[in-house]
């Protein structure tokens, strides 16, 4: 190992995707208020027809880029020039390399946290799953799920499927993030104009079951997940499978630095002077 890599080493360590093997995930989907989406969504992203929020907790026992780790995320539905995806508000992780890669390459708002996801029961159907995410001594997100094969609002099944979900096979999702770098020059906000990035993740579930879920969002100064309150819980699902984060992202746009500045603190702890 060396601080300096050869060209051959760099090329040989550039896979086509970041792969997660036997990824265990509990995913929840709900509707929040239109006002919450309006407040949190940076331009040029726009709200979609319904104010949909997605959150998950995951165990990643094996990957092609890092040690095993846990992750959770909070994302809101958004669109750019007619293309819908999810804008990520928060993505805590338990591994420093997973944090660095996600932040530096893709712009994901990752921070280190304590995260847990546990399933109780031998049989899949009828078992219970619980999880939580904690920072600064606050469990700001707690989730519970009953793996019944049903969702909270049975009339919402078409809405879940409309998000790209395919319970019977492979599916993919698009994520929007803003990549930006604070400037060391006090009179300048960023090193370069913030960039809107699009990435795609492919999911190949081997185990999949719908769930009736609940989430508790505790206010935290540093992790304000409570800003997207649950107005209508659609439902959730538990899955185990192989996921691939494709390394063919796109730079969709450069945005005005002053216009973006209020949204530039997802990756940082805001300290009041």
CATH classification at residue 159 = 2.40.400.10
| Cis? peptide before 31, omega within 30° of 0 | no
Could you tell me the sign of the dihedral formed by the alpha carbons of 40, 46, 48, 50, in that order? Answer: positive
Residue 258 lies inside a defined structural domain of this protein: no
| Beta-strand pair 232-246/138-146 | unpaired
Residue-level pLDDT at 41:
98
Taking Cα atoms as reference points, which of 30, 34, 39, 79 lies closest to residue 224? 39
Residue-level pLDDT at 167:
85
Residue 186 lies inside a defined structural domain of this protein: no
Lowest average pLDDT, out of 2-16, 58-72, 239-253, goes to 2-16
What are the tens digits of pLDDT across the range 91-124? 999 999 999 999 999 999 999 999 999 999 888 9
Residue-level pLDDT at 272:
58
Residue 189 lies inside a defined structural domain of this protein: no
Please check the confidence at residue 72 and state whether its pLDDT lies above 90: yes
Count of structural domains, the chain:
1
Q: What is the DSSP letter of 102?
A: I
Residue-level pLDDT at 130:
98
Residue 7 lies inside a defined structural domain of this protein: no
What are the tens digits of pLDDT across the range 32-52? 999 999 999 999 999 999 999
Collect all residues with Cβ–Cβ distance below 8 Å to 13 and sequence separation of at least 6: none
Residue 6 lies inside a defined structural domain of this protein: no
Give the mean pLDDT of the chain: 94
Residue 265 lies inside a defined structural domain of this protein: no
116 contacts 70 by C-beta, under 8 angstroms: yes
Please check the confidence at residue 12 and state whether its pLDDT lies above 90: no
d(CA 50, CA 79): 11
Residue 137 lies inside a defined structural domain of this protein: yes
* Count of all residues that appear for the chain in the document: 273
Residue-level pLDDT at 271:
63
Residue-level pLDDT at 185:
94
Query: What is the DSSP secondary-structure string of 28-96?
Result: EEEE--HHHHHHH--TT-B--SS-EEEEEEEEE-EESSSS-EEEEEEEEEEEETTEEEEEEEE--BS-H
Please check the confidence at residue 56 and state whether its pLDDT lies above 70: yes
Residue 14 pLDDT grade (very low, low, confident, very high; cuts 50, 70, 90):
confident
CA dist 42 to 4, 78, 91, 225, Å?
A: 38, 10, 17, 17
What are the tens digits of pLDDT across the range 136-187? 999 999 999 999 999 999 999 999 999 988 888 899 999 999 999 999 998 8
Taking Cα atoms as reference points, which of 51, 16, 22 lies closest to residue 37? 51
83 contacts 56 by C-beta, under 8 angstroms: no
d(CA 80, CA 76): 13
Residue-level pLDDT at 83:
96
Residue 27 lies inside a defined structural domain of this protein: yes
Residue-level pLDDT at 66:
80
Q: Provide the domain limits for residue 150.
A: 18-177+196-250
Strand partners, 251: 197
| Beta-strand pair 83-90/171-179 | parallel
């Amino acid at each position: 190992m060396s601080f300096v890599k050869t060209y051959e080493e760099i090329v040989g360590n550039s896979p086509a995707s970041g792969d997660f093997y036997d990824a265990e995930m509990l995913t929840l989907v709900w509707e929040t208020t239109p006002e919450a989406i309006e407040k949190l969504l940076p331009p040029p992203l726009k709200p979609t027809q319904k104010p949909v929020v997605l959150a998950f907790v995951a165990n990643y026992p094996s990957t092609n880029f890092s040690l095993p780790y846990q992750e959770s995320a909070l994302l809101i539905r958004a669109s750019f020039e007619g293309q819908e995806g999810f804008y990520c508000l928060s993505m805590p992780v338990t591994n420093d390399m997973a944090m660095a890669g996600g932040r530096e390459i893709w712009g994901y708002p990752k921070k280190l946290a304590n995260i847990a996801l546990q399933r109780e029961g031998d049989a899949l159907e009828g078992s219970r799953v619980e999880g939580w995410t904690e920072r600064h001594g606050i469990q700001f997100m707690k989730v519970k799920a009953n793996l019944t094969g049903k969702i909270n609002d049975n009339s919402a099944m078409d809405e879940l499927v409309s998000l790209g979900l395919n319970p019977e096979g492979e599916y993919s999702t698009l994520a929007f993030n803003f990549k930006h770098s604070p400037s060391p020059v006090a009179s300048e906000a960023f090193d370069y104009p913030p960039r809107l990035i699009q990435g795609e993740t492919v999911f190949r579930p081997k185990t999949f079951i719908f769930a009736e879920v609940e989430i508790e969002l505790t206010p935290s100064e540093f992790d304000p997940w409570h800003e997207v309150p649950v107005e209508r819980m659609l439902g959730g699902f538990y899955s185990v499978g192989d996921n691939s984060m494709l390394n063919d992202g796109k730079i969709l746009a450069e945005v005005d630095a002053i216009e973006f500045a209020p949204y530039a603190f997802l990756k940082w702890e805001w300290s009041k002077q």
